Amino acid sequence: MPFVFKRLGLFLMSIAALAGADKDKGAFDPGRAAAYPTRQTVGNVTIAAVPFQTDEQARPAFGKANPYKYGVLPVLIIVENDTNQTLNLEFMKVEFVGPDRTHLESIPAQEVRYLRGPNKPKVYGGPLPTGGAKIGRNKNPLNTWEIEGRAFSARMLPAGQRASGFFYFQTGMRSNSQIYLTGIREALTGKELFYFEIPLDVK
């Protein structure tokens, strides 16, 4: 019985997070996973992974501050559950895989603001966009509510629903990179779904 109540509590918190994430701020709705070419479907679960690099991409989600200019690559993850049961996303793990097959773990959203410090963060892999960004000494562009507010937060995903949010990586975007996603389970049985490997560039 305690197990059932625990799962129910996680489910309710997840729904509250989905409904209230943008309650006090401008809403950001990325739409369906099927709208993006960088996606994969496994067992009636479709996941899209979209790297946000340009100012045009970043503006609807992050406003004037584009995290990629400061060494942080936001990757939008959209999970669509077309199965007939609830999915447990509590143990979902998302990694950035470079063209050399090196795996890079995501950075907790609450830690992104500390990456900059007095200097720009070191960048894994390829170069950042040319030019860089000049900012005031006392202003941290990564210390904005959007970084945490837009982060992926769903823990349970009911049948027929979708959830979305960002994962953050301290890296530059390179061709032939992928998102490697594991840990999605059936809530009722605990069975883990097959892993996802989603290319981040379209051939």
pTM for the structure as a whole: 0.79
Q: How far apart are the first and last CA of the chain?
A: 50
- 3-state SS assignment for residue 24: coil
Task: Collect all residues with Cβ–Cβ distance below 8 Å to 197 and sequence separation of at least 6.
Answer: 40, 97, 178, 179, 180, 181
The pLDDT, as a whole number, for residue 115 is 85
- Residue 41 CB neighbours (<10 A): 14
List the chain pLDDT tens, one digit each, 203 residues: 444 434 444 444 444 444 444 444 568 899 999 999 999 999 999 999 999 999 999 999 999 889 999 999 999 999 999 999 999 999 999 999 999 999 999 999 999 999 864 444 444 445 455 444 444 445 788 999 999 999 999 999 999 999 999 999 999 999 999 999 999 999 999 999 999 999 998 76
- Which structural domains are found in the chain, ordered by start? 2-199 (2.60.40.1230)
DSSP of 133-168: ----TT--TT-SHHHHHTB---SEE-TT-EEEEEEE
Both structure tokens of 99: 């063209």
Nearest to 106 by CA among 49, 31, 162: 49
Q: Which residue has the tokens 């840990």?
A: 183
